[in-house]
């Protein structure tokens, strides 16, 4: 019955927000090790659709990265 219409089934690993999973509520701009996970090679902020971070946590994450950049803890860009 269900085969009457070809159904596309995608198997993709379910992405989980790291901050929800690890119960990190306050994202510290001084925690370089943590922030580094969200800045790939080009030092851009990793988008939500890639990292799976929820909106509630992406917002403070973005803020923290920008603060860390200002203090030269993480780079704006890599050349």
**Does 10 contact another protein by CB under 8 A?**
yes
- How many residues touch another protein under the rule CB under 8 A: the total is 24
Q: What is the DSSP letter of 27?
A: -
Q: Residues 28, 34: contact at Cβ < 8 Å?
A: yes
**Does 40 contact another protein by CB under 8 A?**
no
| Angle, CA 52 vertex, CA 74 and CA 57 arms, to 5° | 65
**Does 1 contact another protein by CB under 8 A?**
no
Longest dimension (CA), the chain: 61
**Does 49 contact another protein by CB under 8 A?**
no
Hey, what are 22's tokens?
């690890």
Question: Residues 1, 4, 5, 11: which binds another protein (CB under 8 A)?
Answer: 11
In whole angstroms, how close is the CB of 58 to another protein at the nearest point? 15
**Does 14 contact another protein by CB under 8 A?**
yes
């Amino acid at each position: 019955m269900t085969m009457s219409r070809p159904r596309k089934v995608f198997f993709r690993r379910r992405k989980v927000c790291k901050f929800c999973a690890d119960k990190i509520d306050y994202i510290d701009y001084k925690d370089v090790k943590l922030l580094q996970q969200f800045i790939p090679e080009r030092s851009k902020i990793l988008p939500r659709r890639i990292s799976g971070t929820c909106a509630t946590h992406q917002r403070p994450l973005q803020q923290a990265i920008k603060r860390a950049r200002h203090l030269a803890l993480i780079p704006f860009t890599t050349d």
